[in-house]
Amino acid sequence: MEIIDFESKSWFFLSNNKDYYIDVNCSYSYVGFNMLIQLNTSELTEYQNCGRDYLNSLVKNIQQYALSQYNDRNVKGDVERLANEAIIKFLEESSK
């Protein structure tokens, strides 16, 4: 798993082979949580066409509709573990 881009305290954009994911910092009321969403074909096309601007737009949408529209897309298991490990490693290296 590799981090391609990030926005501090907001999101990480990652790739794993040919799959792309966005890890988004969300909140509901006073509870904070992260959602790991795999980009689908149309989202990936939008990213390829518009780059970081599209990612920021997608993040805002995920943050607003996390528990309704994106809850079923929240990736768990081994992929989530790999993403978390990549993010932790990235943060450790960037703080040196």
Q: What is the pLDDT of residues 16-51, one digit of tens each?
A: 999 999 999 999 888 999 999 999 999 999 999 999
Mean pLDDT value of segment 62-91:
96
Is residue 79, in this structure, part of any structural domain at all?
yes
Q: Given this model, what pLDDT does residue 96 score?
A: 77
Q: Given this model, what pLDDT does residue 86 score?
A: 98
Whole-prediction pTM value? Answer: 0.93
Is residue 23, in this structure, part of any structural domain at all?
yes
Q: Which range marks the domain in which residue 84 is found?
A: 2-90
Give the pair of three-digit tokens for residue 91: 């943060």
Domain count, the chain: 1
Is residue 96, in this structure, part of any structural domain at all?
no
Is residue 30, in this structure, part of any structural domain at all?
yes
**To which H or E segment does residue 92 belong?**
helix 78-94
Is residue 31, in this structure, part of any structural domain at all?
yes
